[in-house]
């Protein structure tokens, strides 16, 4: 990542402490599901607190193309009039999912039980991500799927009303794969079962129940078995989207590594399948205190207070990876200023995200003068209290890589710069304004 002659798209630098209160943006996972489930359901679904990022707008557009009526009121209330018994209709054109990996994989499953053909496309980043992990079990259930080499987008899938139920054990821990199979199973006749070796986030199970579909979950060692019986109709409901812990992670790490910081982040979802990062940062010595607990839509929500802390390296248990897989890049920014080594293994899933996030994160750290070693399934970071910084980061169109690099810059001797800030809007459109409100010297420098 050598600096080019091109002006940076955004820059961050060390400054004063972060202080004040911020409200976490709506959870991305639940926002996707509210649009998809609402579109499939009978009746009307209303949604408050929706994350209005590019990824969610792509999913909303896709479900409109399948026949749902989706509108936004001036007060921010979203209304989804579902297709119900009429079923999803064949779209007139291609379904453009932009950068939304969750959106495209869940929609593929949702559309599988209908006699329709749809072609899914995405941006450059999404087009290189593997879809075989989803379409292969869907093929076993009876769909026809043909994609670009390596089962990548563009992908054309033809569903069937004679979908077969499936009992499936995913070879890798993936809530997206589990969710796609369960959504397809809504239209299959009989029991669809997913057996997970390690538990993944359970938003699909929680939301299916909220939409009126019984779902059984059984503990199975470190994993679980999830079952539903189809055909199972969904009924519209009201969804309150809690704050996204994956977005809150950037604010939390920033406050931990910037001296003198003391912030409160409101409305953060505390689902135990999503809080692995909070547990890890606490083990590293971070001051993270949750308070004001409440429950909404089956999810526990809390306000989180974070103070600057002296962090130390730890070995992160590989079994924790499913509960924090998206947060490893920003965890590495905390590890960069921690004393000693932070060892992260069993995270090879990061190699097939929006970018190869292991390689991209290693490159961020190296550009900032932080000692890091890449392994086949992870990273080992040796921290320093005040990294050199000064890196120019190629983000590979990956929003989490972009935000992670900017967070690191807040604790470095020299600024950190990134080549592209546009994709941050896919998941966290308020990132720059929220960080600036808390006192961070982070700004867009070119568009």
Task: Show which residues are catalytic.
Answer: 326
Q: Residue with structure tokens 């600024």?
A: 415
Lookup: tokens for 227: 């079952």
Q: Could you tell me if 266 and 286 are in contact, meaning their C-beta atoms sit under 8 angstroms apart? A: no
Q: Measured between alpha carbons, how far is 264 from 149 in angstroms, rounded to an integer?
A: 47
Nearest to 4 by CA among 404, 447, 331, 393: 393
For the CA atoms of the chain, what is the radius of gyration? Answer: 21
Q: Render 82-105 in DSSP notation, one character per residue.
A: --GGG-PPPPSS-EE-TT-HHHHH
Lookup: tokens for 370: 């932080």
Angle at which helices 28-40 and 101-110 cross, to 10°: 20
Lookup: tokens for 62: 């896709």
Nearest to 174 by CA among 192, 150, 200: 200
Element (H, E) at 292: strand 287-296
Q: Could you tell me if 336 and 416 are in contact, meaning their C-beta atoms sit under 8 angstroms apart? A: no
Letter string b/e over residues 217-254, b meaning 16 or more CB atoms within 10 A of that residue's CB:
eeeeeebbebbbbbebebebbebbbbbbbbbbbbbbbb
Q: Render 119-144 in DSSP notation, one character per residue.
A: EEE--TTGGGS--HHHHHHHHHHT-E
Q: Residue with structure tokens 């990294």?
A: 387
Q: Residue with structure tokens 């607190």?
A: 49
Sign of CA dihedral 148, 150, 155, 159: positive
Lookup: tokens for 8: 């940076």
Q: Which residues are bridge partners to 299 per DSSP?
A: 296
Q: Residue 422: is it exposed, middle or buried by C-beta count within 10 angstroms (0-12/13-18/19+)?
A: middle
Q: Could you tell me if 234 and 5 are in contact, meaning their C-beta atoms sit under 8 angstroms apart? A: no
Q: Which residues are bridge partners to 20 per DSSP?
A: 263
Q: Measured between alpha carbons, how far is 382 from 306 in angstroms, rounded to an integer?
A: 23
């Amino acid at each position: 990542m050598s600096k080019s002659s091109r002006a940076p798209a955004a820059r961050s630098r060390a400054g004063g402490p972060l202080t004040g209160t911020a409200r976490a943006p709506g959870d991305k996972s639940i926002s996707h599901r509210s649009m998809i489930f609402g579109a499939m359901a009978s009746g009307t679904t209303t949604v408050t607190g929706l994350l209005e990022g590019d990824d969610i707008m792509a999913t909303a557009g896709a479900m409109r193309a399948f026949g749902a009526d989706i509108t936004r009121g001036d007060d921010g209330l979203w209304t989804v009039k579902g297709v119900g018994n009429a079923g999803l209709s064949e779209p007139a054109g291609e379904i453009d999912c932009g950068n939304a990996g969750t959106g495209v994989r869940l929609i593929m499953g949702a559309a599988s039980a209908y006699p329709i053909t749809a072609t899914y496309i995405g941006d450059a980043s999404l087009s290189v991500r593997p879809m075989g992990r989803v379409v292969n079990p869907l093929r076993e259930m009876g769909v026809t799927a043909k994609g670009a080499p390596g089962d990548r987008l563009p992908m054309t899938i033809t569903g069937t009303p004679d979908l077969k139920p499936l009992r499936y054990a995913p070879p890798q821990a993936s809530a997206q794969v589990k969710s796609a199979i369960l959504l397809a199973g809504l239209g299959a006749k009989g029991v669809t079962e997913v057996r997970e070796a390690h538990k993944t986030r359970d938003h699909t199970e929680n939301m299916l129940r909220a939409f009126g579909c019984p779902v059984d979950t059984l503990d199975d060692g470190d994993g679980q078995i999830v079952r539903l019986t189809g055909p199972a109709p969904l009924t519209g409901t009201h969804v309150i989207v809690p704050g996204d812990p994956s977005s809150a992670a950037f604010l939390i790490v920033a406050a931990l590594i910037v001296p003198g910081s003391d912030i409160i982040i409101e409305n953060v979802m505390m689902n135990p399948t999503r809080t692995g990062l909070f547990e890890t940062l606490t083990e590293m010595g971070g001051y993270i205190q949750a308070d004001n607990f409440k429950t909404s839509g089956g999810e526990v929500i809390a306000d989180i207070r974070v103070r600057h802390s002296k962090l130390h390296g730890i070995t992160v248990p590989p079994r924790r990876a499913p509960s924090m897989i998206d947060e490893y890049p920003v965890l590495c920014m905390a590890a960069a200023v921690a004393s000693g080594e932070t060892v992260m293994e069993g995270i090879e899933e990061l190699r097939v995200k929006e970018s190869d996030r292991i390689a991209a994160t290693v490159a961020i750290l190296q550009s900032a003068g932080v000692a890091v070693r890449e392994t086949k399934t992870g990273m080992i970071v040796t921290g320093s209290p005040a990294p050199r910084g000064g890196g120019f980061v190629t983000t590979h169109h990956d929003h989490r890589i972009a935000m992670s690099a900017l967070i690191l810059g807040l604790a470095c001797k020299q600024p950190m710069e990134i080549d592209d800030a546009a994709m941050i809007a896919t998941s966290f459109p308020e990132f720059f304004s929220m960080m600036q409100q808390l006192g961070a010297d982070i700004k867009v420098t070119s568009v």
